[in-house]
């Protein structure tokens, strides 16, 4: 029944799409290039320059990183060896002092005794020679005036204090405070020896040295870490920040920022930006191609409509190159959404318009407000423009999307807490963009219809009015065909709604599917009201020629009246390649009566094409079923359903539906829809008294 094999895109369509993608890449590339300036370091700025986007100030960041690296404090680590050397030096001092005390005692037994002052001077000299430490003799005189037990006690305490001081990390800044701290503690614990505290402090201050040493590697690592930390936390400049005022000198810092933002004019081709744009466009195009490939069975677009939508798509992108330089809110993507929804429906319009919006977004600096407002506009516009069940007033099409986008603008600015000026600018540009886009779409719709000759909802609704020229002719010249067409339209409408096909197209195409009978209306039984049958005067083949020619005549008449191509195709396909069985059987009987071979059935076939869409197949089935039910004078639903199933099976057996896109589930839904229609037609009416 339904062939899963679908027609591949035509070669020229593929070429057109490829060329369009290439065109879009260059348009987006040039539209994304920022305004450039011919400045050098030392130039005078002729105008204010603002940051077109948020960026990292590499110049200031590098300067801050260098400052952080150079201001890192030197790192010192405790050295046990250094601490022990200081403690040992304290012991050495007291060894010298003890030796001097001994010499002083021994000297007293001689004729020339050594005084405490002389002993203190001797120790001072020895300490300077051995330790390179200068201590005044009067500062240590007390060590030679005390008793031996006291000296021993003071020596032990001083050494202990030195050990306590050297336990921690002591640099040159902490040494004195640590000594004072320990001396104060000694005075509190041993108040009777407090008079020796100053001497002990002098010894400790003079001999002890910091026990930390400079760690070059740790200091270097810390400096590098501070440098990298600053680089990894760059100084950011917000979008819209004034980089330089008019009349100011372009210094190295400003020049660096202009280069970073690619605002310095360069005669060479910017390969980096081009590659970015190419990848971006190709990703979006590939996503759109996947969607179109999936929907290709449902999305059957005539070539004029295809090229019309493609050109409109490119116009939107090209216009954005200029409009984006004026404001990030001047955009006409809603124009494309309106045109697209009119010809290929709401869903397809939303998807393709979002693709259009994504493609032009780089030219607007990926502004979130622009994207948000236009996304809402696309959705509302597609919903209104894509309605096919009733006429949407043009004023409503313009009014409601405009109100929605303005409300979106207000909401966005409110959430971001923007200023009154930003509110006003946003509202003005949003209003202008939406109104201009929709007015252009409505105003150009007659030109689009003329060029594309497509079955837009507005066009179909116009053609469905009884006052249309061909409808009047059909009613007056072939009233039977007119009423037959009305019933076919009712059946087709119900079936299309049941399977999700285009109900409006099916209904209107059914109105016009038999307009070819206007050439010879009297040769069709529904238009014969008694009297002679003109076929009685013709041979079978002459009758077959007239009957099977009405699709061709209908196509010619439809083209002359400029009916949409979709309707013309259904007129051509509504009989497919079947044959009028009545005349074929009559020809077979005549041949048999003459003793001849049965005639070739191919000579009796309609010269049209088999249905290529669900809508065309629905009209074919509805036409066949309505004619058969009327001809068989069926009056009950069960008999009508049985006849419908037989007729559809006959179409399947003749391979009339293999390219229609219908499946068995669709066929069952169509049968049920027809049954419901005939249930209404055959319902019993109240019998009025005579």
Q: What is the DSSP letter of 687?
A: P
Q: Give the C-alpha separation, 333 to 433, whole Å.
A: 9
Write the CA distances from 273 to 239, 285, 368, 594, integer angstroms: 19, 18, 21, 84
Q: Is the distance from CB of 363 to CB of 320 less than 8 angstroms?
A: yes
Residue 113 is predicted with a pLDDT of 66
Q: What mean pLDDT is predicted for residues 124-132?
A: 89
- Chain centroid to CA 212: how far? 59
Dihedral-angle region of residue 44 (phi above 0 means left; psi in -120 to 50 means alpha; beta otherwise): beta
Distance CA 590, CA 583 (A): 10
pLDDT over 70 (residue 9): no
pLDDT of residue 10: 63
Q: Strands 55-56 and 236-237: what pairing? A: antiparallel
Which two structure tokens, joined as six digits, stand for 433? Answer: 């963009």
pLDDT above 70 coverage of the chain, percent: 92
Q: How far apart are CA 124 and CA 10, in angstroms?
A: 109
Coil, helix or strand for 302?
coil
Whether residue 495 is predicted with pLDDT greater than 90 in this model: the reply is yes
Tell me, what's the pLDDT at 486? 92
Count of alpha carbons within 13 angstroms of residue 28, beta-carbon side: 27
Angle formed at CA 326 by CA 325 and CA 329, multiple of 5 degrees: 100
Q: Is the dihedral of CA 525, 528, 530, 536 positive or negative?
A: negative
**In 534-595, which ranges are continuous DSSP H helix?**
540-548, 550-560, 565-573, 581-594
Q: How far out from the chain centre does Cα 581 lie? A: 58
Please write the tens of the pLDDT for every residue from 375-399.
999 999 888 887 655 555 677 788 8
> In this predicted structure, what is the pLDDT of residue 466?
81
Burial class (CB in 10 A: 0-12, 13-18, 19+), 17: middle
Three-class DSSP category at 114 = coil
pLDDT at 6 over 50: no
* Element (DSSP H or E) covering residue 226: helix 216-232
- What pLDDT score does 160 carry? 92
User: Mean pLDDT across the stretch 89-95?
Assistant: 90
> What is the CB neighbour count within 10 angstroms for residue 186?
22
Proportion of the chain above pLDDT 90, given as a percent: 21
**Exposure of 422 in the CB half-sphere (CA atoms within 13 A):** 14
Q: In this structure, are residues 250 and 41 in contact, taking their beta carbons and an 8 Å threshold?
A: yes
Question: Tokens 């009305």 sit at which residue?
Answer: 486
Residue written as tokens 């090229």? 307
Phi, psi dihedral angles at 44 (to 5 degrees):
-100, 125
* 592 vs 590: CA distance, rounded Å: 5
Question: Could you tell me whether strands 76-78 and 236-237 are parallel, antiparallel, or unpaired per DSSP bridges?
Answer: unpaired
For 242, the enclosing helix (H) or strand (E) is strand 242-244
User: How many other CB atoms sit within 10 Å of the CB of residue 309?
Assistant: 23
Beta strands 49-50 and 242-244: pairing type?
antiparallel
Whole-angstrom Cα Rg for the chain: 50
Residue 116, H or E segment: helix 116-131
CB 516 within 8 A of CB 551: yes
Residue 297: the pLDDT is 64
The pLDDT of 466-473, averaged and rounded, is 85
Q: How many CA atoms lie within 13 A of 613 on its CB side?
A: 25
Confidence (pLDDT) at 319: 92
Residue 315 has pLDDT above 90, yes or no: yes
Question: Is the pLDDT score of 417 beyond 50?
Answer: yes
Q: What is the tens place of the pLDDT at every residue in 54-83?
A: 888 888 898 999 998 888 888 888 888 888
Other Cβ atoms closer than 10 A to 140: 24
Q: What is the largest CA-CA distance in the chain?
A: 180
* List of residues 6+ apart from 388 with CB closer than 8 A: 345, 457, 460, 502, 503, 504
- Tokens 């038999």 -> residue: 514
The SS3 call for residue 37 is strand
Residue 7 has pLDDT above 80, yes or no: no
For the stretch 531-584, pLDDT in tens is 677 776 777 787 788 888 889 988 999 888 888 888 899 999 998 888 888 777
| Residue 261 near residue 51, CB atoms below 8 Å | yes
Q: For residue 622, is pLDDT > 90? A: yes
Phi, psi of 360 (to 5 degrees): -90, -10
Mean pLDDT of the chain: 84
Cα distance between residue 185 and residue 176, in whole Å: 14
pLDDT at position 371: 92
Sign of CA dihedral 78, 84, 85, 86: positive
Q: Give the residue-averaged pLDDT of 138-147.
A: 88
pLDDT at 393: 62
In angstroms, the CA 587 to CA 604 distance is 10
Average pLDDT over residues 647-665: 89
| Range among 47-56, 208-217, 323-332, 615-624 with highest mean pLDDT value | 615-624
Tell which phi-psi region holds residue 392, choosing left (phi > 0), alpha (psi between -120 and 50) or beta: beta
**Inter-CA distances, 244 with 50, 52, 261, 263, 331, Å:** 7, 13, 13, 12, 29
**Are the C-beta atoms of residues 250 and 40 closer than 8 Å to each other?**
yes
Q: Which domains does the chain have, with CATH numbers?
A: 11-30+270-453 (no CATH), 76-214 (no CATH), 460-681 (1.10.3210)
Confidence of residue 690 (pLDDT cuts 50, 70, 90): low
660 near 617, Cβ under 8 Å? yes
Report the pLDDT value the prediction gives residue 389, as an integer from 0 to 100.
53
> Residue 290 is encoded by which pair of tokens?
């996947």
- Contact by Cβ (8 Å): 550, 572: no
- The predicted structure's pLDDT at residue 111: 47
Gap between the terminal Cα atoms of the chain: 52
- Statement: residue 100 has pLDDT above 60: yes
> Residue 648: its pLDDT value, please?
92
Rounded Cα distance between 116 and 146, Å, is 10
Of 184-193, 521-530, 551-560, 653-662, the poorest mean pLDDT is in 521-530
Please report the pLDDT score of residue 289 as a whole number. Answer: 86
């Amino acid at each position: 029944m339904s062939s899963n094999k679908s027609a591949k895109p035509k070669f020229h369509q593929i070429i057109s799409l490829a060329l369009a993608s290439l065109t879009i890449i260059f348009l987006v590339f040039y539209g994304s290039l920022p305004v450039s300036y011919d400045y050098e370091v030392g130039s005078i700025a002729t105008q204010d320059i603002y940051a077109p986007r948020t960026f990292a100030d590499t110049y200031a960041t590098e300067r801050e990183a260098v400052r952080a690296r150079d201001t890192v404090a030197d790192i010192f680590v405790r050295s046990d060896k250094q601490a022990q050397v200081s403690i040992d030096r304290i012991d050495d001092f007291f060894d010298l002092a003890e030796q001097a005390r001994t010499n002083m005692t021994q000297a007293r037994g001689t004729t020339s005794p050594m005084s405490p002052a002389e002993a203190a001077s001797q120790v001072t000299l020895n300490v300077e020679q051995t330790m390179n430490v200068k201590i005044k003799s009067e500062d240590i005189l007390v060590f030679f005036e005390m008793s031996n037990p006291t000296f021993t006690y003071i020596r032990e305490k001083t050494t202990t204090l030195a050990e306590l001081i050297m336990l921690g990390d002591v640099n040159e800044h902490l040494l004195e405070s640590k000594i004072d701290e320990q001396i104060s503690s000694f005075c509190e614990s041993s108040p009777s020896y407090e008079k020796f505290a100053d001497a002990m402090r002098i010894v400790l201050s003079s001999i002890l040295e910091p026990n930390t040493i400079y760690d070059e590697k740790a200091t270097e690592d810390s400096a590098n870490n501070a440098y990298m930390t600053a680089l990894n936390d760059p100084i950011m400049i917000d979008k819209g920040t004034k980089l330089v005022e008019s009349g100011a000198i372009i210094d190295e810092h400003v020049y660096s920022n202009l280069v970073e933002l690619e605002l310095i004019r360069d005669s060479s081709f910017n390969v980096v930006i081009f590659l970015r744009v190419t990848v971006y466009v190709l990703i979006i195009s590939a996503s759109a191609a996947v969607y179109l490939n999936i929907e290709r069975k449902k999305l059957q677009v005539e070539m004029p409509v295809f090229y019309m939508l493609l050109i409109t798509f490119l116009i939107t992108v090209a216009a954005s190159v200029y409009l984006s330089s004026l404001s990030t809110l001047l955009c006409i993507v809603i124009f494309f959404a309106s045109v697209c929804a009119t010809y290929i429906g709401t869903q397809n319009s939303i998807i393709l318009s979002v693709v259009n919006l994504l493609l032009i977004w780089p030219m607007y600096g990926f502004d979130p407000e622009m994207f948000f407002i236009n996304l809402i506009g696309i959705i509302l516009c597609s919903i209104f423009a894509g309605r096919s069940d009733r006429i949407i007033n043009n004023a409503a099409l313009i009014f409601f999307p405009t109100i929605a986008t303005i409300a979106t603008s207000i909401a966005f600015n409110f959430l971001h807490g923007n200023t009154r000026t930003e509110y006003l600018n946003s509202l003005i540009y949003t209003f202008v963009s939406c109104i201009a886009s929709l007015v252009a779409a409505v105003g150009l719709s007659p030109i689009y219809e003329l060029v594309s000759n497509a079955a837009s909802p507005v066009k179909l609704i116009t053609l469905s009015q009884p006052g249309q020229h061909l409808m009047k002719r059909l009613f007056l010249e072939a009233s039977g065909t007119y009423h037959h067409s009305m019933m076919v339209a009712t059946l087709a409408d119900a079936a299309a709604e049941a399977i999700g096909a285009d109900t409006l197209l099916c209904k209107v195409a059914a109105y016009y599917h038999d307009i070819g009978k206007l050439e010879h209306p009297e040769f069709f039984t529904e238009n014969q009201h008694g009297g002679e049958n003109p076929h009685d005067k013709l041979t079978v083949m002459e009758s077959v020629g007239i009957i099977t020619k009405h699709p061709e005549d209908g196509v010619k008449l439809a083209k002359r009246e400029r009916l949409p191509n979709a309707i013309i195709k259904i007129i051509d396909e509504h009989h497919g390649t079947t044959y009028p069985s009545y005349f074929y059987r009559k020809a077979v009987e005549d041949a048999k009566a003459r003793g001849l071979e049965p005639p070739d059935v191919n000579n009796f076939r309609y010269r049209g094409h088999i249905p290529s869409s669900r809508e065309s197949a629905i009209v074919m089935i509805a036409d066949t079923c309505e004619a058969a039910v009327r001809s068989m004078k069926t009056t009950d639903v069960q008999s009508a359903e049985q006849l419908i199933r037989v007729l559809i099976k006959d179409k399947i057996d003749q391979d009339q539906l293999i390219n229609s896109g219908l499946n068995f589930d669709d066929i069952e839904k169509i049968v049920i829809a027809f049954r419901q229609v005939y249930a209404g037609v055959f319902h019993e009416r109240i019998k009025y008294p005579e």
